[in-house]
Chains A and B, each alone.
Chain A
């Protein structure tokens, strides 16, 4: 039995249509697979970020714990020993020997100074205790410490002292951020003037630190893996979903703008 030319032609057209559709389905499949690949990559990145965040959190917790232990030791142990030494020295009575008396007097004043310094240091190390009285007070204490260090012209505008709301976890991280920034200024900036502004606007805590030091290459410093430096500041900010903007000019100084959703 022979098929007619019209039937043959219909079959060829149909087969051509099938052959035309097949690449289409293949292209659709490739695009769909590609979308899955994208989702997989995004998921992998999220997992990596979560992992890094967890590691950092643990790192900060351990660091905080260590500092608290040192603070407690300084306050309760070394502080007590020094106080006892002061008492002992006070109890010595040598009125006839002026030289010895003067030396003991000097020693006592040095000891008192040491006790005071250790208490202050213990306070700073014991972050959790400081932030209990609010982030405004914690920043104030940090600034007081900076004043005692001396050598800087300070311009302070701390509007967080009368803050009604608080967020203990964020407060501790904000305090440590400020400490890290101040330490960096003392260590590297060679600045003579520091300006610190802290305030809240539309549920965003803004912390602005400006100094007139030697400046630095921000991108280069950010990518340095060694130490806690800027990379650590960035990760801490990421952890509390904040933003940081650093503008640095050689020989003119650096301005750091930090925005953190608060509370």
Chain B
């Protein structure tokens, strides 16, 4: 059955096909990040089966996730304005919040607060990107603009996941006795995130072909 892990593997395959020849550091880091995502997912499955708790795996993964998304936002927003210092500060803030809640509740409890705050911050940055894109006088064909699709995926994932983050404890219960609401929501969000990212990789390959 198609699950979130399959989506991540498909996205990794897309990145290997379309990004391995890329010279840009960001796109190469993307491949490495997707490898981390797939390994995390597999390891979390293993831990879940063996130790009946894999939340600490996802908690550690949050550090990589925040780092990659911050770098991606810096990379794309940098076309319009330089937010290097702001994004470094944002990353430090996320790590500080993460550390505080980890020390307080332990690594075995899911760090939903950090994820919620991180989501809000990322949504603000993605909206800032779209604002700058609209304000810019130059026209870009968004249909083939990798930045638009990459950031679009991030916006859908983090904005769409807001409710799930807030009511994280409630959605862990079964819906109508059999459906896991958390799984449904995160599968849908992952579908859009990795779908948009995979498409952005094809756009990037196209862009590289046109302007090497």
Tell yes or no: A94 within 8 A of B by CB. Answer: no
Does B189 make an interface contact (CB < 8 A)? yes
Task: List, in ascending order, chain A residues with CB within 8 A of B163's CB.
Answer: 12, 15-16, 19
Say whether B170 contacts A9, CB under 8 Å: yes
| A113 located at the interface, meaning its Cβ lies under 8 Å from any Cβ of chain B in the complex | no
Residue total for B at the interface (Cβ-Cβ under 8 A): 29
A residues 1-33 in Cβ contact with B at 8 Å: 5-6, 8-10, 12-13, 15-16, 19-20, 22-24, 26-27, 30-31, 33
A23 to B160, CA, bound (A): 8
Which chain B residue shows the least CB distance to A41? B139
Question: Which chain B residues border A20 with CB–CB below 8 Å?
Answer: 156, 159-160, 188-189, 192
Taking A13-B184, A30-B142 as contacts, is the C-beta distance between A5 and B160 under 8 angstroms?
no
- In the assembled complex, the CB of B64 is this many whole angstroms from the nearest CB of chain A, namely 23
A34 contacts B by Cβ under 8 Å:
yes
B130 on interface, CB distance cutoff 8 Å = yes
* Complex CA–CA separation, A30 to B131 (angstroms): 9
Cα distance, A9 to B148, chains bound together (Å): 33
Q: What is the CB-to-nearest-CB distance from B124 to chain A, in angstroms, rounded to a whole number?
A: 13
Residue in contact with A37 in the complex, picked from B139, B152, B173, B176, CB distance below 8 Å: B139
Q: Which residues of chain B from 152 to 194 have a CB within 8 Å of any chain A CB?
A: 152, 155-156, 159-164, 167, 170-171, 173, 175-176, 181, 184-185, 188-189, 192
Can you name 19 A-B residue pairings with CB atoms under 8 Å? A5-B170, A5-B173, A6-B175, A9-B173, A9-B176, A12-B171, A12-B181, A15-B163, A16-B163, A19-B161, A20-B192, A27-B152, A30-B130, A30-B133, A31-B143, A34-B134, A34-B142, A37-B134, A38-B139
The 5 A-B residue pairs with the shortest CB-CB distance in the complex, in nearest-first order: A20-B160, A16-B163, A23-B156, A9-B175, A15-B163
- Which A residues lie at the B interface, using CB under 8 A? 5-6, 8-10, 12-13, 15-16, 19-20, 22-24, 26-27, 30-31, 33-34, 37-38, 41
